[in-house]
Amino acid sequence: MTTSKTIAIIGASGSMGTAISSSLAKTGNYSLLLMSDQTESLPELKSSLEQYHSNTQVHIIDCAKEASWEADIIILATPFQAEKDLAEKIREVATGKIVISIANPLNSTFDGFVTTPDTSAAEELQKLLPNSTVIKAFNTTFAADFAHTVIDGKQVDSFIAGDQETALNTVAELVAGVGFNPIIAGDLKVSRTLENMQLLMIQLGMKYNYNWLAGWKILHN
Amino acid sequence: MYELLIENIRSKVAISEAEEEQLKKYFIPKKYRKRQYLLNGGDICKYFSFVVDGLIRSFTVDDKGHEHVVQFAAEGWWVSDMGSFLEETEAMYHIEAIEDVEVLNLTKPAMEEMLNELPVMERYFRILMQKNIVTLQQRVVADHSLTAEEKYLRLMEIYPKLIHRAPQQQVASYLGITPETLSRIRKQVAEKGD
């Protein structure tokens, strides 16, 4: 094993967690630590991930703190509502690490957010983890998009926001590695826009029946 | 998580409780599995690592593919490829966990920030580096002038518990002797001790 990065996926058994884990496993660039409260599906996920690439190492860890302790990068593939408790558990061991916030703080009727307009899920997470570097990523991509990063002949854009340049570049590399076109959108405050973009996408998806296979693409010359 | 580091700092400098609390934010707590590499030779070494638990070795690989152990680092020791870490050049060393390991990693920017904000840590690192230079100079002399047995006895003095924790092949490599010679020396030393 070399100095490849270790990524903890907290919430690995959910649809986004599984999609992200699978995409990362296919690159062969990372060691993956799978953590979920629903542990029963993880052994099967681990075996399927290990078949994607001979370099991919996968471990199941039943504790968010332990997984985050071993990780270089932590992906919280969990609902916004779970982040407060999780942040408490991992705060100490996440010091100095990149924590990726994928959550959109949707309300129960999917027509608005539980956060106020002057903040975002990512900014709230950053407040809970003051010594970590929170980066917003993968919130504008549906789980199904990970298996189809090209839709209608166009590579899906994946937006990233955060306050630290090195961390943004690390995450952009990760996003590109799984097949999306990474676009660094701005500082962490831009997460407000990114989260609203996905609220719109969800609403449009339901209205026009996109069947969860839809994504954003900026057309430009 | 930080107890051993703080104990180590206290053994060299006087540090206040507020400073102890403040320094925690600069270190990245990290675990590595046995045989996992903290650093792959040729990469840029990003961390100066304090060992909280477990055993680490740094080594080089020569043109013939033979490994040469440069340093062991157990609890309370620091390990890095300092040239690569400070100059941001390609690492000469590989650094590998011999056991499951827990470390506190310091990046160069975090270290600079800490030294600016906590002058007591500047003093700590000065004392640490002084000791390190002394040890390195002694090591150079030892390599030239000591017999294999004397080198072994010196190693036992510096790393008393290590002899039994590290694979014998790696201990032999550190001493620059064959595992067979090491085995013979160990017998001789044990007999003398009886």
Confidence of residue A185 (pLDDT cuts 50, 70, 90): very high
Report CA torsion sign: A198, A202, A208, A213. Answer: positive
Q: Would strands B37-39 and B94-97 be described as parallel, antiparallel, or unpaired?
A: antiparallel
Q: Read off φ and ψ for residue A208, nearest 5 degrees.
A: -110, 10
Report CA torsion sign: A8, A121, A86, B110. Answer: positive
Does the structure show a pLDDT above 80 at A174? yes
Does the structure show a pLDDT above 50 at A159? yes
Does the structure show a pLDDT above 90 at A149? yes
Domains of chain B by start residue, with CATH: 3-118 (2.60.120.10)
pLDDT tens-digit readout, A2-57: 468 999 999 999 999 999 999 999 999 999 999 998 888 999 999 999 998 888 89
pLDDT tens-digit readout, B127-176: 999 999 998 898 888 888 888 888 888 888 878 778 788 888 899 998 88
Q: Is this prediction's ipTM beyond 0.90?
A: no
CA A13 to CA A36: how far, in whole Å?
6
CB B54 within 8 A of CB B97: yes
CA B37 to CA A4: how far, in whole Å?
9
Q: Which residues are CB-contacts of A45 (< 8 A; sequence separation ≥ 6)? A: A12, A13, A18, A21, A34
Mean pLDDT in residue range A112-116: 94
Q: Where are the alpha helices (H) located in chain A, listed in sequence order?
A: 15-27, 42-52, 64-70, 83-90, 121-128, 165-177, 191-208
CA A45 to CA A148: how far, in whole Å?
19
By C-alpha distance, the chain B residue nearest A31 is B36
Instruction: Give the pLDDT confidence score for residue A27 in this predicted structure.
Output: 92
Mutate which: A3, A4, A5, vs B, most B CBs within 10 A: A3
CA A108 to CA A114: how far, in whole Å?
9
Q: Which residues of A touch B39 (CB under 8 A)?
A: 3
Does the structure show a pLDDT above 90 at A212? no
Beta bridge partners of residue B53, listed in sequence order: B102
Does the structure show a pLDDT above 70 at B95? yes
CA B194 to CA A201: how far, in whole Å?
79
CA distances from B81 to A143, B5, B92, B112, B121 (A): 41, 20, 7, 17, 20
Q: Which long-range contacts (CB under 8 A, 24 or more apart) does A167-170 make?
A: A167/A98, A167/A133, A167/A135, A168/A135, A170/A73, A170/A98
Does the structure show a pLDDT above 80 at B193? no
Mean pLDDT in residue range B42-51: 95
Instruction: Give the pLDDT confidence score for residue A1 in this predicted structure.
Output: 41
Compute the mean pLDDT over every residue in chain B, rounded to the nearest whole number. Answer: 92
Instruction: Give the pLDDT confidence score for residue A2 in this predicted structure.
Output: 46
Distance from CA of A166 to the nearest CA of B (A): 11
B107 touches chain A (CB under 8 A): yes
Q: Which residues are CB-contacts of A86 (< 8 A; sequence separation ≥ 6)? A: A10, A64, A76, A78
- What's the start-to-end Cα distance of chain B, in Å? 40
Distance from CA of A29 to the nearest CA of B (A): 14
Q: Which of B28, B33, B102 sits opposite A96 (nearest CB)?
A: B28
CATH number of A5-208: 3.40.50.720
Q: Which of A69, A95, A96 sits opposite B31 (nearest CB)?
A: A69
Q: Which two tokens stand for residue A77?
A: 């593939």
Tell me the domain boundaries of chain A.
5-208
B93 touches chain A (CB under 8 A): no
CA A76 to CA B145: how far, in whole Å?
56
Instruction: Give the pLDDT confidence score for residue B194 in this predicted structure.
Output: 61
Least confident of A3-12, A84-93, A187-196: A3-12
The fraction of chain B above a pLDDT of 70, given in percent, is: 99
CB B52 within 8 A of CB B106: no
CA A129 to CA B9: how far, in whole Å?
26
CB A57 within 8 A of CB A32: yes
pLDDT tens-digit readout, A122-133: 999 999 999 999
